[in-house]
Amino acid sequence: MSHITLVRHGQANTEARDEESYDRLSALGTQQAQWLGEHIAGTGEVFPRLYCGTLRRQRETAAAISLEGHAEPVIDARFNELEFFTLAALYRDQHDVPIPEDREDFADHLPKLLAAWQAGEIVNAPEEFDAFESRVREGLDAVGTGDGRAMVVTSAGVIGMAMRITLGLDIVAFARACLAVENTSLSRWLPLRGSLALTQFNALPHLEHPERQFARTHL
């Protein structure tokens, strides 16, 4: 039977304001991924199938998890993140909506940005909303038809979209799901008769010890 575990990448460059600058792990992000790898090794869980997107932060996370005896990662662009910084800059320029500077502003901004993107109100977006949803769905379907446990190292937007696909979330709920996903968290699905059943969301067993509470991050 197939099981799918989606892992969000480790903390990236939190000071960045563009896609390229953001796309690398911080020292803490590398540590988060290493701790996750140690946790998985300790449980004895084996993933005969491993995937990650093409983005640097995703590939660096997969490498830092370092699952000896597990499969080499298949690089699949369907698990790449939506281009938030690019979309936010276009939304600002076309609709005079400032790019958020802190988490509270970001929480208000993201649902509005996603709604405008879905409605086709952001001209020259790097990818259409429906195309993003379709590629995530196709990626999950492809992984779900394989045999055995699969780990996919990806990003918060992809995990949020998996939640939308599974639970039929509207745009606001989709945005909230994206905002909830913490770095190197585990979310799990069980493919059932052509659909997906959610079994776990945003788990951080490798960061539960009090000495690691500081390492829980969203950005």
| Segment 145-159, tens digit of pLDDT | 888 899 999 999 999
Euclidean distance between CA atoms 134 and 161, whole angstroms: 10
Question: Does the pLDDT value for residue 40 go beyond 70?
Answer: yes
23 close to 77: Cβ distance less than 8 angstroms: no
3-state secondary structure the chain: CCEEEEEECCCECCCCCCHHHHCCECHHHHHHHHHHHHHHHHHCCCCCEEEECCCHHHHHHHHHHCCCCCCCEEECHHHCCCCHHHHHHHHHHHHCCCCCCCHHHHHHHHHHHHHHHHCCCCCCCCCCHHHHHHHHHHHHHHHHCCCCEEEEEECHHHHHHHHHHHHCCCHHHHHHHHHHCCCCCEEEEEEECCEEEEEEEEECHHHCCHHHHHHCCCC
For the chain, give the mean pLDDT.
94
Compute the chain's Rg from CA coordinates. 17
Residue 178, pLDDT score = 97
pLDDT in tens, 87-119: 999 999 999 999 988 878 889 999 999 999 999
pLDDT value for 4: 96
Q: What pLDDT was estimated at residue 102?
A: 80
- The answer to pTM > 0.85 is yes
State the average pLDDT over residues 57-70: 86
pLDDT score of 202 = 98
Domains of the chain by range and CATH? 4-181 (3.40.50.1240)
Average pLDDT over residues 47-65: 95
pLDDT at 85 over 90: yes
Structure tokens given for 115: 């709604």
User: Could you tell me which residues come within 8 angstroms of residue 3 by beta carbon, excluding any fewer than 6 positions away?
Assistant: 148, 149, 150, 188, 189, 190, 191
Tens digits of residue pLDDT in 161-219: 999 999 999 999 999 999 999 999 999 999 887 788 999 999 999 999 999 999 999 98
The answer to whether residue 70 scores a pLDDT higher than 80 is: no
